[in-house]
Amino acid sequence: GMEGQRSCRTPCPNPFDYKTQKFILTHSRMVGTLHRLLQLCILGYLFGWVFLVKKGYQEMDSDPRVSVITKLKGSTITKTQEFGNWLWDVVDYVKPPQGENVFFLVTNAIITPKQRQGHCPEHPSIPDAQCIKDSDCPMGEPVVGGNGIKTGKCVMLDLSQSTCEIYSWCPVENAPLSRHPLLAAAENFTLFIKNTIQFKKFNFLQMNTQTTDDDAYFKTCLYDPVSFPLCPVFRIQDALQEAGYDFQTIAVKGGVVRIIVDWDCDLDRSAICLPHYSFSLQDVHYNFRTVQYYWGKDEREFRKLIKLYGIRFDISVTGKAGRFHIVPATVNLGAGLALLGVVSTACKLLYLHTHTHTHTHIVPATVNLGAGLALLGVVSTACKLLYLHTHTKAYYTYPVCLVKNYCNKESQTDSTFFK
């Protein structure tokens, strides 16, 4: 009795000792099949999606420094009743002409010439200008949504309409908008986009004009998503078609077109990165007004009011670059191994739930699901590998120490335990 009690006493555990788990081989086709299937799914996700598709082994830079320079080329002649033949070149139809990443291409216009300050009837389409008598037009009151200041008079336009007289630039704008774009030939104008992108993290600089050393190439090529996907020269009509719309339809009242230059650079494969262009229509109906002032023969100031309709181009540059780095590769690999640990823990619970006849004295398991224990499992696995690597001359046995006969060193293992 006393000797048995003394033999049960164990020395204080050493905090620097390391213990390994005991593995039990069970014959359960359902649990084993489920375990392997879940492992294959996680491995497929880890190596297929995380590493192959998302390049989880790379350090990324998704905040590049960019610059964009644009140039439009083309000219056309329009014939109007007021001005006859009128030549349009780049200075006339591009606003602003500096070649920025946002610019406006004129396609249609309403021109009101020879305006000068004076008194004239307000346009009848303005609700606040409609009147029957002079008291409907209080003097000095601005016309809401109109073109000038009321003078206190109600004037007849014709037998059926009357409006308030205003002090304004007269005559007010009243010409109808043409159903056919004034600059219909603009569909054949060309747009050249010069883009430079720099990833500071990797000290990498690339331009979209480095695809060839032939200077004449950019004078002859036109962008085509199949034949010439890298040519930075775009015909306006082709850009609208890539956005899914017809130029002649959008050109009447204008619109907003966005061009995206996207760079996806894998610096592990090549030091050369190529852009990808995409197009989308952001809005329809875009216009604004501008004027040209001049002096008449009677030394009075005149102006020509021009309401411009056209297409505003917004050019955006996006990009990311990646290069192999040990930190993201290790983090993503560790996350995958942690998921494998969660699968093993879940299968243990499933086995315990479906095999209620298992002897409780041989399964002293308390399982807590969670990412925390899964990560601890990864640490334990790493320690095992380290121990095996540093103790290559050791041999290992796995004595079975059951709760009932823990003190009996001579006890034999139940042979049914390994069945």
DSSP-assigned letters across all residues of 241-255: HHTT--HHHHHHH-E
How far, in Å, CA of 251 to CA of 310, rounded?
A: 6
How far, in Å, CA of 93 to CA of 104, rounded?
A: 8
In this structure, the strands spanning 84-88 and 76-80 are antiparallel
Alpha helices in 287-407 (DSSP H): 326-354, 371-390
Which residues carry a binding-site annotation for ATP?
71-73, 190, 287-289, 307
Q: How far is CA 143 from the centre of its chain?
A: 44
Which residues carry a binding-site annotation?
71-73, 190, 287-289, 307
Tokens of 186: 């603009």
Exposure letters 248-287 (e unless 16+ CB within 10 A, then b): eebbbbbbbbbbebebebebeeeeebebebebebeeeebb
How far, in Å, CA of 256 to CA of 285, rounded?
A: 8
How far, in Å, CA of 70 to CA of 238, rounded?
A: 17
Residue 161's φ and ψ, nearest 5 degrees, are: -130, 145
Give which of 322, 61, 56, 55 is closest to 201, Cα–Cα: 61
Residues 6+ apart with CB under 8 A from 153: 134, 137, 164, 165
**3-state DSSP of 45-72:** HHHHHHHHHCCCCEEEECCCEEEEEEEE
Question: How many other C-beta atoms lie within 10 A of the C-beta of residue 48?
Answer: 11
